[in-house]
């Protein structure tokens, strides 16, 4: 196991090497095939949780304040997919069913083929979650999810758990286990293509954090080794001090993390690869399109996209 490495990384300039390397072959670090991101839709409340539905050739994402799941397609543009209870992160499970982390209902639900909703998780040891934020799915159906208090009024009203944890849900039994307890504000979460590394974003402390001892803690992105028994090695493979909300992973294992000015790229070893600038501060990202080479970006009130020379994790 590699020793933990903590690296403080400044965000790269807008005209980073990632954006300016046009003409290079499709090997090595990923690169955009367009000069800048395209705005696909706007005038929403706060966009989050993009997920691509390949059979429908459609993107679904959350407008959290509006309590709606939105949809976008090249053919039909922007529309409402269905109502939600302040959904945040969304993802497809191993069978292609839509999973949603709902702030308002404080649960994780699955949308069935007939449109009905199945609640997969809403409590831990008899206590309600804070507000499930984001989810990662293994090929066997195992769920990993984060539970910060962002969806609670003033982050404290109705709070039942004594912390902000990362959980794992066993698909056959529905049992929920707490796997990480030492994070300040666990947020985005993703798995490496081989499912042997779990990435967790922690947005860190701030003056309004309900626990005063956490208010000065830095924002981090951490890589944890996942063992054969699905237990996490408590000593991270690597950790960088950088602010990240949501994230996704490409087929090469590179991590696309939303930062303050754009989407920052990290190698599987934790090396900074560059940044894709975005006009609005992004909240989450996913791959989609016919070949999974379109990077969709939810950024505050809008939806953006850019074509890359690498595909997302299948």
Kindly report, residue by residue over 58-90, the tens digit of the pLDDT: 999 999 999 999 999 999 999 999 999 999 999
**Confidence band, pLDDT 50/70/90 cuts, at residue 24:** very low
DSSP type of residue 180: E
Q: pTM higher than 0.75 for the full model?
A: yes
Judge whether residue 212 has pLDDT over 90: no
In order of 62, 69, 169, 235, the CA distances from 65 in angstroms are 9, 11, 27, 37
Which residues span the domain enclosing 243? 6-307
Q: What's the number of CA atoms in the CB half-sphere (13 Å) around residue 278?
A: 30
Lowest mean pLDDT among 18-22, 172-176, 183-187, 296-300: 18-22
Instruction: Tell me how crowded residue 312 is: count the other CB atoms within 10 A of its CB.
Output: 23
| 51-57 long-range Cβ contacts below 8 angstroms, 24+ apart | 51/90, 51/91, 51/92, 51/98, 51/286, 52/286, 52/287, 52/288, 52/289, 52/292, 52/296, 53/92, 53/98, 54/96, 54/288, 55/96, 57/290
1 located within any domain: no
Judge whether residue 243 has pLDDT over 60: yes
**Confidence band, pLDDT 50/70/90 cuts, at residue 215:** confident
In order of 6, 32, 36, 260, 305, the CA distances from 14 in angstroms are 24, 13, 10, 12, 17
Judge whether residue 181 has pLDDT over 90: yes
**Confidence band, pLDDT 50/70/90 cuts, at residue 4:** very low
Is 128 exposed, middle or buried, given 0-12, 13-18 or 19+ CB atoms closer than 10 A?
middle
46 located within any domain: yes
If one counts the domains in the chain, the total is: 1
Dihedral, CA of residue 286, residue 288, residue 292 and residue 295, to nearest 10 = -50
250 located within any domain: yes
DSSP type of residue 193: T
User: What tokens were used for 230?
Assistant: 């699905």
Judge whether residue 98 has pLDDT over 50: yes
pLDDT of residue 155: 85
Element of type H or E holding 264: strand 262-266
Lowest mean pLDDT among 16-30, 192-206, 229-243: 16-30
Judge whether residue 283 has pLDDT over 90: yes
pLDDT of residue 10: 36
Greater confidence (271 vs 28) lies with 271
Sheet holding 143-147, edge to edge: 135-137, 143-147, 165-169, 176-180
Mean pLDDT, rounded, of the chain: 91
**In the chain, where does DSSP find H-type helix?**
17-20
> Can you tell me the distance from the alpha carbon of 189 to that of 184, in angstroms, rounded to the nearest whole number?
14
For residues 306 and 34, is the Cβ–Cβ distance under 8 A? yes
312 located within any domain: no
User: What tokens were used for 168?
Assistant: 């794992």
Domain of residue 193, CATH code: 2.120.10.30
- For β-strands 6-8 and 238-241, DSSP reports them as parallel
pLDDT of residue 306: 98
pLDDT of residue 13: 36
313 located within any domain: no
DSSP reduced 3-state for 214: helix
Judge whether residue 102 has pLDDT over 90: yes
């Amino acid at each position: 196991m590699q020793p933990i490495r903590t690296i403080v990384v400044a965000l790269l300039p807008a005209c980073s090497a990632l954006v300016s390397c046009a003409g290079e072959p499709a090997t090595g670090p990923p690169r955009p095939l367009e000069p800048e991101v395209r705005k696909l839709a706007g005038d929403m409340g706060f966009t989050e949780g993009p997920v691509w539905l390949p059979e429908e050739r459609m993107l679904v994402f959350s407008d959290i304040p509006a309590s709606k799941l939105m949809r976008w397609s090249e053919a039909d543009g922007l529309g409402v997919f269905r109502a939600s209870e302040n959904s945040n992160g969304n993802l497809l499970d191993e069978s292609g069913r839509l999973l949603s982390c709902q702030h308002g209902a404080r649960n994780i639900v699955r949308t069935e083929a007939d449109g009905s909703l199945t609640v997969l998780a809403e409590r831990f040891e008899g206590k309600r979650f804070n507000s499930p934020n984001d989810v990662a799915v293994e090929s066997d159906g195992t769920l990993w999810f984060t539970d910060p208090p962002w969806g609670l009024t003033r982050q404290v009203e109705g709070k039942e758990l004594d912390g902000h944890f990362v959980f794992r849900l066993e698909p056959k039994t529905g049992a929920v286990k707490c796997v990480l307890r030492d994070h300040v504000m666990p947020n985005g979460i993703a798995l490496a293509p081989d499912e042997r590394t779990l990435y967790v974003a922690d947005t860190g402390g701030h003056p309004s954090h309900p626990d005063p001892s956490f208010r000065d803690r830095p924002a981090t992105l951490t890589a944890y080794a996942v063992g054969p028994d699905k237990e996490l090695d408590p000593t991270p493979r690597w950790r960088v001090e950088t602010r990240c909300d949501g994230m996704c992973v490409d087929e090469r294992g590179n991590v696309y993390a939303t930062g303050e000015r754009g989407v920052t790229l990290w190698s599987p070893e934790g090396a900074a690869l560059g940044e894709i600038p975005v006009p609005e501060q992004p909240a989450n990202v996913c791959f989609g399109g016919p070949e999974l080479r379109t990077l969709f970006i939810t950024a505050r009130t809008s939806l953006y996209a850019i074509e890359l020379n690498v595909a997302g994790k299948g």
